[in-house]
Amino acid sequence: MTSLAKELSAAAGAAFDAMGLEARFGEVRRSDKPELADFQCNGAMAAAKAAAKNPREIAGEIAAKLKEHASVLSAEVAGPGFINLRVSDAALSARAENVRGDAMAGAEKAPDAAVTVIDFGGANVAKPMHVGHLRSAVIGDTLQRLLRFLGDEVTSDVHLGDWGLQMGHLVTELQDEQPDLIYFDAAYTGPYPAEPPVTIDDLGRLYPQASGKAKADEARNERSQRAVAEMQAGRAGYRALLRHFIDVSVEALKADYGFLNVSFDLWKGESDVDGLIPGLVERFKAAGLAELSDGAWIVPVARESDKKEMPPVMLVNSRGGTGYHTTDLATILDRMDTLTPTPERMLYVVDQRQALHFEQVFRAADKLGLIAEDKLEHIGFGTVNGPDGKPFKTREGGVLRLADLQAMAMEEADKKLSAANLPADMGAEERFNVAKKVAVAALRFSDLMNTRTTNYVFDLDRFTSFEGKTGPYLMYAAVRVKSVLRKAAENGHAPGKVMVTEDTERALVLQLDGFGAALLGAREKRMPHILCEHLYGLAQAFSSFYAALPIASETDAEKRASRLALADAVRHQLETGLELLGIDVPARM
Ligand code: ARG
């Protein structure tokens, strides 16, 4: 559905074009001075500069044309050549009705929708997820929802870390505990039992146990490294264990991600592309892109123009092993070869600290002709810090595990609900479900509302508050709109024709009008906070409208029906937007 801003931009663009000036100067946006204008167009100044003409004259001509537009009430030139626009009540009323009845709540599909892979989550098998993985999960999942909504064909892949030293640690530590397991008999090659020999708790215990020993004892570390090498070389018993470790971990990960409303199409991992690695290495060699250096095969990716040091890609190390660079390259190959339709873009939602890694991988992928470098994007993000400004840790000093985080958020949400005025007849189960929604809203929104690339301070007390720029505040705003509508319905009052007249109504519809631009902006920049800002602005505009005017209690039937319809448009857009953020709205609270 076309927004008023877009409609006016098109009209202004046509007016510029008619004067022989570029249509792009016609961009119209919401005015930052609502007391003076609804919208403004600032293009006359730039157009005048380009054409060496007088900006006020150009602005005057454009304004005169815009006055003829059906939606425009007034168009005035101000200052050096700003055009201030007011739109008519009728145009705003029609727009509100559009939003209310539109499947996309007033937004439009992206003009450049593409087949896109989003690689996020990235948890490591056997190692607990930490808050860095939380950011990847929440940002990545929001991007997948947003891009799908706007028409991109998205495949999401969790890309588990399941090919590193930790697998060697697990194998060797398990062997020390249960040496008689059939998996360790090198002469035996299967079949192996279907039941895993370990639980997720075993994995959680074995890994730190082994990595602790390996840190203190180089020989112990060597043993794990040898085990990985044997596993990578195809030792059957180790491969069978790997499969069990992955399956057991994935089951636990699904629960962790599920709590956060995060889902993936593909549950692939580094180990899945193992079979592609020899062929990939051959291709690099055959293309003359790989070089032998100190016994290792490397792919130089540095360029003359580089401002920073750009080390080569490590294709095969001097022990003959392959690591993070190679599995990522093989994964690109796999996706290009097996996904249909063939991906046109891949987004990697991973910690900013891995920027160099992705730069190297992307350059190498391009060199080999797998996919163009500019179609591969690293969507980096900052760290989650504690009150001391350093990366967040638990009191014991360890990195926080996602499961603990959930428990903490639930506890805090429950506290906040105790202080809130919940419906008297709310039972324990309903309350638990509301607390869960509050906890998820708090965790997701507090992460998403920050500019992706900045660090933020973890503060559960603030995140779970029903006041301020928080997920629970927005959730509560949506519940309140719904309850206004429900109570009106109980009294037999239905929404009707919108007739915008009051200032708070105008402001509310102008805010509704910006939804599509916010979504497209968030998609283009891969910045979910743009959507968060829009929804927060919408909740505030509704709050002002609600405070200023009676809605369900309005006695004039036409006004009441109009305000209920406005409230319903807000409900629709708020719920649609919150769903894109992965935040559920309870029926009541
Ligand atoms: N497992 C990695 C980590 O914990 C993240 C994986 C990110 N995705 C990728 N394709 N490299 O750091």
Instruction: Kindly report, residue by residue over 282-297, the tens digit of the pLDDT.
Output: 999 999 999 999 999 9
Residue carrying structure tokens 């290495």: 281
Nearest C-alpha to atom 7 of ligand 1 is from which residue?
A: 122
Predicted local distance difference test score (pLDDT) of residue 401: 78
Predicted local distance difference test score (pLDDT) of residue 365: 98
Span from the CA of 115 to the centroid of ligand 1 (angstroms): 21
Q: Are strands 39-41 and 72-78 parallel, antiparallel or unpaired?
A: unpaired
Nearest C-alpha to atom 11 of ligand 1 is from which residue?
A: 328
Give the Å distances, CA to CA, from 12 to 39, 67, 320, 509. 12, 10, 63, 21
Quick one: which of 264, 215, 225, 255 has its CA closest to 129? Answer: 255
Architecture (CATH level 2) of domain 402-580: Orthogonal Bundle (1.10)
Nearest C-alpha to atom 5 of ligand 1 is from which residue?
A: 122
Residue 391: how many CB atoms within 10 A of its CB? 16
Q: Full-prediction pTM beyond 0.85?
A: yes
Predicted local distance difference test score (pLDDT) of residue 190: 86
| For residue 437, pLDDT beyond 80 | yes
Q: Grade residue 396 by pLDDT with cuts at 50, 70 and 90.
A: low
Q: Taking residues 348-364, report their average pLDDT.
A: 97
Q: Taking residues 244-256, report their average pLDDT.
A: 93
Nearest C-alpha to atom 2 of ligand 1 is from which residue?
A: 122
Q: Grade residue 278 by pLDDT with cuts at 50, 70 and 90.
A: very high
| For residue 232, pLDDT beyond 90 | no
Span from the CA of 429 to the centroid of ligand 1 (angstroms): 37
Predicted local distance difference test score (pLDDT) of residue 392: 83
Q: Taking residues 371-376, report their average pLDDT.
A: 98
Predicted local distance difference test score (pLDDT) of residue 143: 98
Nearest C-alpha to atom 12 of ligand 1 is from which residue?
A: 122
Nearest C-alpha to atom 6 of ligand 1 is from which residue?
A: 122
Predicted local distance difference test score (pLDDT) of residue 1: 66
Span from the CA of 326 to the centroid of ligand 1 (angstroms): 13
Quick one: which of 374, 371, 369, 379 has its CA closest to 347? Answer: 379
Q: Which strands make up the sheet holding 153-157, listed edge to edge? A: 153-157, 115-119, 345-349, 376-379
Locate 404 and state its tokens: 């603990």
Predicted local distance difference test score (pLDDT) of residue 359: 98
Distance between CA 502 and CA 133 in Å, rounded? Answer: 47
Predicted local distance difference test score (pLDDT) of residue 130: 79
Q: Grade residue 23 by pLDDT with cuts at 50, 70 and 90.
A: very high
Q: Cβ < 6 Å from ligand 1: which residues?
A: 119, 122, 124, 159, 161, 328, 348, 350
Task: Name the residue ranges covered by the structural domains of the chain.
Answer: 4-87, 165-259, 402-580
Q: Which fold has domain 4-87?
A: Gyrase A; domain 2 (3.30.1360)
In percent, the amount of the chain with pLDDT more than 70 equals 99
Mean pLDDT of the residues in the chain? 95
Predicted local distance difference test score (pLDDT) of residue 395: 66
Span from the CA of 397 to the centroid of ligand 1 (angstroms): 23
Q: Grade residue 388 by pLDDT with cuts at 50, 70 and 90.
A: confident
Span from the CA of 236 to the centroid of ligand 1 (angstroms): 26
| For residue 400, pLDDT beyond 80 | no
| Residue to mutate, 119, 139, 350, 353, ligand 1, most ligand atoms under 8 Å from C-beta | 350
Distance between CA 321 and CA 224 in Å, rounded? Answer: 13
Nearest C-alpha to atom 3 of ligand 1 is from which residue?
A: 122
Span from the CA of 148 to the centroid of ligand 1 (angstroms): 23
Span from the CA of 202 to the centroid of ligand 1 (angstroms): 23
Q: Grade residue 397 by pLDDT with cuts at 50, 70 and 90.
A: low
Give the Å distances, CA to CA, from 334 to 131, 310, 377, 456. 29, 26, 17, 35
Ligand 1 atom nearest to CA at 354: 12
| Residue to mutate, 354, 357, 371, 399, ligand 1, most ligand atoms under 8 Å from C-beta | 354
| For residue 508, pLDDT beyond 70 | yes
Q: Grade residue 281 by pLDDT with cuts at 50, 70 and 90.
A: very high
